[in-house]
Chain A
Amino acid sequence: MELRRSVEEKTFIIITAAAAAITSLLLILIIGKIALEALPALNLYFLTTAEVDTPGYGQAIANAVVGTICLSLLSVAFAVPLSLGTAIYLKKYAKDNVLTRSVRFMIDILSGMPSIVLGVFGMLFIVIYLKPITGGLSLLSGALAMAILILPVIERSAEEAIGTVPRELEEGSIALGGKKWTTIRRITIPYALSGIMTGIILGLGRSAEESAIVVLTAGYSQFYPAVEVLQNSKMPFGAQLGPFQEPVGTLAISVYHMFQFPNIVPRANGFAAALVLILLVMVINLSARVILWRWKIG
């Protein structure tokens, strides 16, 4: 009896350890393989030249790197005010009743929404119907659609962060005669700031890696996003405001091109774009984790 139990125990230690080993090693395997395939293409020219300045297709990715960063930052800029405001209202002002619970349910639904659904919504509504404002397939369209995607990410982190502010601090502020907004401004938000920042950075990372939305709303451009005004007789005032109303290139689409044109885009280039994208998203996510870790420790 004892032997069976100890054998069973040891067996399961081995099984679970093996599972954990496999899972952890997957990361190294995948990134390692991608890096290996990407090596021939990783040179300074590839990384710092815009695709427009190279002949053909998919020979350089600098425009895509800049485009990805711009798109992510703009999406976050759109999403943060709305999600922060919603989080503050839900946590600090609203009573806990059926209404707020259904609001939270709806935000949960949004967070689980498949990105293709947001993509086709963006394509039909934002790109086609709202063309006079957004310029069609453009940075603005992509950022608006992406903002909807990351809204729940930021909102939930913000709510959690606000929820951890100790009551005593807030009550102390009230006892000292502070009004509600003053208390929020001076006590709650500063205390929760790390958690909120984490949410924002996670949203940033999410928008950098998202591809289904980008392919349907942001188009693709071989140029850097540039601040300029172009003539376009089909837009209101005959002007197209760059970079917002112009299409923007992103790394996710650079990688997708490798799938669409396996004979025109060199294989190493596609993998190199993938590697740069992975590193970009990882740096963003890691910084979020570091902030969160420091905040929880501190």
Chain B
Amino acid sequence: MIHESQTESSKEVHGSKPFSKLTSIEIPDLPGLIFLLCGIITILIIVFLIGFIFYTAFPTFQSQGLYSIFGTNWDYTQHQYGMLVFICGTIALTVVTIAIACPLSILTAIFLAEYSPPRLTKVMRPMIELLVGIPSVVYGIFGLFVLGNMFKYNINPGISSVLGFIPIFRNLQPSTGEGLLLASIVLSIMILPTITSLSVEAINSVPREYKEASISLGATKWETIKKAIMPVASSGILTAVVLGVMRAMGETMAVVMLFGGQMHIPGSLFDTGYAMTSKILNDIGYWVAVPEGRSALFAIAAVLIVFEVITVAAARAIGGRKKWS
């Protein structure tokens, strides 16, 4: 039986797909069955992973209800598990990280893509991308032991004495350098390569005709960038930023060392906080063996998964899958 070939997929062009048009048999041959099995196992692993986490977390959601998301008290002996402090910690961390990383990486990307001579680009790009190769624990100890004292004695007091009248710049933790700003700065260094290289790709994929048309109309290079290139590349850049958000939200080791671990919502840039990932890491050692505590910590993990799925969906909606790398 000849199976009619389906129409060519217009959205995703992944290179050659000749077999859908050429083979007449639907059931794949033996190697194909093996590959199909691989695919099924992969999907089963993912489904099982997410299902297991939510299944373990379910009792907490059942007993706490909405309090688990919006409650502020997390106490094992009182059987109260409110995640709000941690959720706000993670959100605050993400927002400040993006605020620091975006301008820096997008401007860098513009330079690399448009202004930089090719030889300089060849040197700079690997140097930026090698930042990815530094493990997060190393960023953690770098931030703690190298930057920590700088922040405690110089940066935090310095900035807050100048800008301290604005609430966000008050120095609420004069005895430590750890806090929102330190953690966010280190996190932004971690996600810089991601945003930068994806933005460079986005800018480079703007059709040349746009640039040339703009130049021929008399615009300066910067105006070309501002008006012709950036709007077109914006979806790619936005995807890159969303990916950075995802990385910042899920980061564990560096955050647990640098955020301070105090159970409150950060009141200023120099205040400490407690992120969701840190709470799980700190407490799981003991509570994994106690059903109630285990369920509560898995509930935090479940919320993390939900955040991540939303971010992935947003990235896909903006940029399409091709942009991932």
Contact = CB atoms under 8 A, between A and B. Distances in A.
A and B touch in the complex (CB under 8 A): yes
Interface residues of B, number: 102
Which of A28, A86, A256, A271: most chain B Cβ within 10 A?
Answer: A86
B246 to A, nearest CB: 5
Interface string A6-48: 1011001101110110111011101101100100000000000
A24 B120 CA distance: 11
Nearest to A16: B111
Interface in A148-193: 148, 151, 155-156, 159, 162-167, 170-171, 174, 179-181, 184-185
Contact of B18 (A90, A174, A209): A174
A103 B107 contact: no
Contacts of A211: 135-137, 252-253
Given A109-B312, A112-B308, A125-B52, A120 B189 contact: no
Nearest to A6: B220
Which of B32, B138, B277, B312: most chain A Cβ within 10 A?
Answer: B138
B316 interface: yes
A9 B221 contact: yes
A93 B141 contact: no
Contacts of A95: 6, 20
Q: How large is the interface on A (under 10, 10 to 19, 20 to 34, 35 or more residues)?
A: 35 or more
A20 B138 CA distance: 23
Contacts of A164: 15
A53 B239 CA distance: 50
Contacts of A205: 133
Which of B52, B135, B311, B325: most chain A Cβ within 10 A?
Answer: B135
A82 interface: yes
A252 interface: yes
B309 A109 contact: yes
A205 B34 CA distance: 28
B42 interface: yes
Given A8-B220, A216-B284, A108 B324 contact: yes
Contacts of A69: none
Given A23-B104, A120-B284, A106 B43 contact: yes
B22 A174 contact: yes
A151 B15 CA distance: 22
A40 to B, nearest CB: 14
Nearest to A18: B107
Interface stretch (B58-66, B79-87, B124-132, B264-272): B124-132
Chain B interface mostly helix, strand, loop or mixed?
Answer: helix
B37 interface: yes
B301 interface: yes
A133 to B, nearest CB: 16
A20 B133 contact: no
Interface in B242-288: 243, 246, 249-253, 257, 277, 280-281, 284, 288
B212 interface: no
A166 B262 CA distance: 56
Contacts of A165: 15-16
Contacts of A114: 249-252, 277, 301, 304-305, 308
Contacts of B128: 23-24, 27
A253 to B, nearest CB: 8
Interface stretch (B142-150, B153-161, B163-171): B142-150
Contacts of B105: 19, 23
Nearest to A285: B133
Contacts of B129: 289
A171 B18 contact: yes
B111 A20 contact: yes
Interface string A89-132: 11111111000000111111111111111111101110010000
B46 A107 contact: yes
A81 interface: yes
B133 A278 contact: yes
A89 B34 CA distance: 9
B76 to A, nearest CB: 16
B142 A30 contact: yes
Which of A12, A112, A123, A166: most chain B Cβ within 10 A?
Answer: A112
Contacts of B47: 106
A255 interface: yes
B29 to A, nearest CB: 6
A68 to B, nearest CB: 10
Contacts of B16: 163, 165-167, 170-171
30 contacts: A8-B222, A9-B221, A13-B222, A19-B107, A20-B107, A20-B111, A26-B192, A37-B145, A84-B38, A92-B19, A92-B32, A93-B36, A105-B316, A106-B46, A112-B250, A112-B308, A112-B312, A114-B277, A116-B304, A117-B53, A117-B301, A117-B304, A151-B42, A179-B29, A180-B19, A181-B29, A209-B136, A252-B135, A256-B253, A267-B145
Given A16-B111, A148-B49, A210-B135, 14 more contacts: A20-B116, A23-B105, A34-B146, A89-B32, A109-B308, A116-B250, A119-B284, A120-B298, A124-B298, A164-B15, A171-B18, A180-B28, A259-B144, A284-B133
